[in-house]
Amino acid sequence: MYIKIADCRMVDTRSRKVERVDIGVKDGVVDAVGEVKAKADKALDAHGDYVSPALVDLHSHVYHLGTSLGVDADEIARSWGTGVFVDAGSSGAGNFAGFRDHVIRRSGAKIYAFLNIGFGGIPFFGIHGDQQAGEIPDIRVADEDACADCIERNRGDIVGVKVRVSENANGTLGVEPLKAARRCARRAKVPLMVHFGRPQPTVKEVVSLLDKGDILTHAFRAEPNSIVEGGHVLREIAAARKRGVVMDIGHGSGSFSFDTARRALADGFKPDTISTDIHTLSLADPVVSLETTMTKLLGLGMSMAEVVLAATYSPAAAIGRPEHGSITVGRPADLVTLSLSAGRKKLRDAAGEAMEFDGEIRPVLRLKGNRVSRPGAG
Ligand SMILES: [Zn+2]
């Protein structure tokens, strides 16, 4: 079975330039990128749309039915172009096995996990409708030995350690849970992903504890505790980026602000990775999808090449799984074509601001192995 997709725009991961290519897939494996010489059994035309690996969502919550915030990865993968979901700490050492056996192993999508330093993951989300109680009310819940053991036993599924430090997540403990998570991540030699929110602690305190390869999620959140002060990106944040800390969007229901993004981008400070923080309370509004989140950054001034790489190549690199970040000859096919639709679209950030955008990124063709689907059609 030979499938050809003609007339695609593809972002070269090295030069970051856009090339015109045809893609050939033989028996579910990428056979050619550029010129396709083989005769195709099935010929598809991308009409100049972008082609990229299936999107990689670096911050999602997909412990569906096992946690109150988990959404169904398979359902999202059917409607949109996301092929790799990185769960950001929904589970901890105490309940990771359930996530692995009941969700990760049974899903048609690829799922990786950042393991929460909190023993029970994120268990108190959505109490009284839309409220939450922190997952680490007592520092003993941050069980470093259990976390490190669980990572060691599940290296194929767990790609890092997650910690949430904010007033919501752990009250008055400040950076103590972060310090525990950091020790655990260093021991296991995996990256650390940190959520920050309403202080305490401040984002300055948080980034002072992060090193190369660690991820600051919710980086473009609104005040209070924004990375922008007096119209410019904080010196401490610029320095963290310089030493290799990954700046992630993690949109969610409360963590992305057009205003912060406008000021950061005006300073030349772009996110390294674009992710949704998709969960039961953010999915329908304001997140919708990873494509919708990419549309927002595109409209705010990033280029199409930049937003595509920030939702494929860069998150794949951040979790140490570069094979998901490019379309490579010899690898199983898992790709999507993305169109930029015409027309005006009004979208909301997580701070309540609405903004009109020119065009919208939508998935058109999804090719996984030999299977072609049209996720945007429904
Ligand atoms: Zn999250």
Ligand 1 center to 47 CA (angstroms): 36
Ranges of residues in the chain whose predicted pLDDT is under 70:
377-378
CA of residue 277 to ligand 1 center, whole Å: 5
Fold that domain 53-324 belongs to in CATH = TIM Barrel (3.20.20)
Q: How far is the CA of 276 from the centre of ligand 1 (A)?
A: 8
In this predicted structure, what is the pLDDT of residue 376?
73
DSSP code of residue 178? H
pLDDT of residue 167: 85
Counting beta carbons within 10 angstroms of the beta carbon of residue 357, is it exposed (0 to 12), middle (13 to 18) or buried (19 or more)?
middle
- Residue 378 confidence (pLDDT): 53
> Please, what's the largest Cα pairwise distance for the chain?
65
Q: What is the pLDDT of residue 15?
A: 94
Report pLDDT for 132: 87
> If you measure from the C-alpha of residue 122 to the centroid of ligand 1, how many angstroms do you get, rounded to a whole number?
9
Question: What pLDDT score does 169 carry?
Answer: 83
CA-to-CA separations, 74 to 79, 101, 136, 166, 180, in angstroms, rounded:
9, 15, 30, 31, 33
Tens of pLDDT along 120-167? 999 999 999 988 888 999 999 999 999 999 999 999 999 999 999 998
Q: 72: CA distance to ligand 1 center in Å?
A: 15
**How far, in Å, from the CA of 88 to the mean position of ligand 1?**
6
Instruction: Please give the pLDDT value at position 304.
Output: 97
Distances (CA, A) of 9 to 135, 299, 343: 44, 19, 21
Where are any strands of DSSP class E within the chain? 2-11, 18-26, 29-34, 42-45, 50-53, 55-60, 82-92, 110-116, 125-127, 131-132, 158-165, 192-196, 215-217, 228-229, 232-233, 246-247, 334-348, 354-368, 371-373
For the segment(s) 2-51+329-341+350-377, the CATH number from 2.40.50.140, 1.10.3720.10, 1.10.10.10, 2.30.40.10 is: 2.30.40.10
How many whole angstroms from 147 Cα to the centroid of ligand 1?
Answer: 18
Coil, helix or strand at residue 344? strand
Q: How far is the CA of 332 from the centre of ligand 1 (A)?
A: 29
| C-alpha of residue 5 to centroid of ligand 1, in Å | 35
Question: Which pTM was predicted?
Answer: 0.98
Q: Domain residues of the chain, as ranges?
A: 2-51+329-341+350-377, 53-324
CA of 92 to the centre of ligand 1 (A): 14
Predicted confidence at residue 171, as pLDDT, reads 78
Distance (Å) from CA 29 to ligand 1 centroid: 33
Cβ neighbours of residue 21 under 8 Å, at least 6 residues apart? 8, 9, 10, 33, 34, 51
